[in-house]
Amino acid sequence: MLLSSAAVATEPPTARQPATATTEATRLGAEYFIQKSGAVWTYQLQSGGKGKVSINSFVEWKASFSFSLGKKSGSGTWRVKEGQWLERSSSRADGEVVVLPAVMTRGSRWQAPASLAKGTRDPAQYEVLALDAQVELPNGITVEHCLAVLETGLDGSVPYTHYYAANIGKVGVRGPADWLFRLLEFRPGSRGHQE
C-alpha cells in the first residue's frame, strides 16, 4: 500500500466519548505491527521537514528498525509476543517495553516509558481513546478506523495522541498544540521473516 498527500487531521478524540457499537470492539496490538523487511514510513514533521522510520531486517521474529524524526534518531527492535507489540530501544528504556498491549478496547490503560515521539525516558501512562478515529494526512487522504492512544505523564501532563492503522502501523502523533508528524508515504516492504 502506498500512501501520499497533505491535509489537516481531525481533532483527537476525547476520553469521554459516548459508547457506540464500533468504539466498543476489541483490537489486538499485533494488528498494527508490520513484519516485513524494507518497510518504510515517511512522515511530514511539524517543522515542515520529513522524517523516516524503516525496518532494516526481520530475523528470528524480530524487526530491526531505525528512525529519524527531526532531531531525534536511533534504532531498536520490535516484535510481537503473545499478541503484544514490544519494543527495545536505548532511546526509550533499558529493557523491552509495550508499544501496544495484546487486547485493547476503548478505555484500556497501561504504563510504559515515554514514546520515541516524546523523546524522554520518563514514565508515561497510555489509554485507548478510540478504535475508529480518522486521520487526514498531509496529502489529503483520510485513513479511517485508526486506533487512537493517549500518552501522558503519570500526572496527566503533556498529552500526545498516537494514531495507528491496521496493516500500516503509526500514521501520526498529535502533541499538545499540533501534529508532531503525520504519514506522507508508507511502503510495506517485500521480505518477511528470515531465519
pLDDT tens for each residue of 9-46: 344 443 333 334 334 588 889 899 988 999 999 999 99
19 inside domain: no
Distances in whole angstroms, Cα of residue 118 to Cα of each of 77, 130, 143: 18, 20, 23
Domain that holds residue 154: 27-187
Residues 6+ apart with CB under 8 A from 45: 51, 69, 70, 180, 181
193 inside domain: no
Q: Which three cell numbers stand for residue 105?
A: 478496547
pTM (global) more than 0.75: yes
pLDDT at 24: 52
5 inside domain: no
pLDDT at 109: 96
